[in-house]
Amino acid sequence: MKRITKIAVSAVALAMPVALVLSGCSSDGGNGGGGDNGDDNTLTVWAWDPNFNIYAMKEAEKIYQKDHPDFKLDIVETPWDDLQTKLTTLAQSQSFGELPDIFLTQNNAFQKNVINYPDLFSGLGDSGIDFSEFPKAVADYSTVDGVNYGVPFDSGTAIGAYRTDVLAEAGYTVADFTDITWDDFLTKAKDVLAKTGKPLLSGQAGSSDMIMMMLQSAGASLFDNDGNPTIADNAALEQAISTYTELVKSGVFVEVNSWDEYIGTFVNGSVAGTINGVWIVGSIQSAADQSGNWAVTNLPKLDGVPGATNYSANGGSSWAVSSNANVELAEDFLKSTFAGSTELYDTILPKAGAVANWIPAGGSSVYAQPSDFFGGQAIFADVVKFGASVPSNNTGVYYYEARDAVSAAITKIIGGADPKDALAEAQSTVEFAMG
């Protein structure tokens, strides 16, 4: 995932002396903690990516200031890996006074942090935020024991994006790849490859991103509701891996070695499509010479799997309110902006490509604007609708360990290993990590 990197709290980071790491936490000019800024009208925020998340937060500040002119944000740019290390260190040392008012958390790491370090967070049950206005699957990422701890922001809703000129050369339109199964996709993609010489998909070898999207599209997970791993004897996972293996061996899915190579496959035109989170649109549009020759639709669904759908997600993030926050102000700010302002999402969409998880935003005239690059399709309005249909996915505490174990299993299976044996080994690996 490009925008959403993997959680990386290494043993080295955890072994660092607490005083050393806390000195890093305090290097924000003295405003690292919400309770330390000395101003009842100022909120401190930790977030990464100046051109995306931080830009969106600054625009939210402007909107909130219209009715609260004395309001200010103190935004501290904090890369995700650094932010996760700070959260871990502050929790272990119980230095909650160093926390900001609001911090951004990757969706796939949200439950892990709430479950491991509940004292870092403030529950949002009394915030007045209407969480039914967000896709349930997205809100569930930051929900633990029925309590919402996060306001969804960065959409990871998955899309299928295809070169319409290449499809046309093979006698197809994007409608032929809408609401279909993976068996249908494989048949048509083989035909496109035979007629045009172009595969429709690509991805990084050893990555489980595509498998995870397939799995979530069926409402399946790597863990049960009690947090126990369900990698072995998981019918949906076995079907997803079988499908992926067929895609690779047939040649319609090209595996490459790096992220840059992956992007290059569709930017340079050697591959005629991709399936990923909607944030991939920015990379697609970097190929200016392909403008007008792309279209977006939903995903194929798994064959023979109960509950399978054509919708999934990859990545995304949510805003958390810390236990050290000016909670009333932080909740009202988030309620009035990221959970309540069409103006905010209309502003940040054109410049940052920040697609709303907040469903009402999708009905605005800005979201309905046709995209010249995508042949006049109002892709962002479509993506908001897709997001409302994405099934929920259990993540829990050991999600990334499970992803890594499944990634290793996929490599072995592609190389000829027995799928059940490889997945049983992956299950054992995760159980060992869980102690």
Task: Check which CATH number belongs to the domain holding 152 and give it.
Answer: 3.40.190.10
Looking at residue 7, its pLDDT comes to 33
pLDDT of 404 reads 93
Q: How many CB atoms lie within 10 A of CB 278?
A: 28
CA–CA distance, 102 with 353 (Å, rounded to integer): 22
Same structural domain, 54 and 180: no
**How many structural domains compose the chain?**
2
> Within this chain, do residues 415 and 288 fall inside the same structural domain, yes or no?
yes
pTM of this structure: 0.84
pLDDT at 269: 97
- Shared domain for 146 and 200, answered yes or no, is no
Distance between CA atoms of residues 57 and 75, nearest Å: 8
Whether 303 and 340 map to the same domain: the answer is: no
Q: What is the pLDDT of residue 51?
A: 87
Task: Provide the 8-state DSSP code for 325.
Answer: S
pLDDT at 36: 57
Quote the pLDDT of residue 10: 32
- Kindly state whether residue 3 falls inside one of the protein's structural domains: no
Does residue 374 fall inside a structural domain? no
Please tell me whether residue 62 adopts helix, strand or coil conformation. helix
Inter-helix orientation angle 53-65/342-352, to 10°? 150
**The pLDDT value given to residue 15:** 34
Cα 330 to chain centroid distance, Å, stands at 23
Task: Report the pLDDT value the prediction gives residue 34, as an integer from 0 to 100.
Answer: 54
Q: What is the pLDDT of residue 26?
A: 32
Number of neighbouring beta carbons within 10 Å of residue 29:
8
Q: Are 288 and 409 contained in the same domain?
A: yes
Q: Domain range for residue 332?
A: 11-156+316-366
Residue with tokens 């035109």: 269
**26-32-36 Cα angle (round to 5):** 110
For residue 6, being part of any structural domain is answered with no
With contact defined as beta carbons under 8 Å apart, do 251 and 422 qualify? no
What is residue 121's DSSP assignment?
B
Tokens of 194: 């035979």
Dihedral sign (CA 427, 420, 1, 297): negative
Question: 257, exposed or middle or buried, with CB in 10 Å at 0-12, 13-18, 19+?
Answer: exposed
pLDDT-flagged residues of the chain (< 70): 1-38
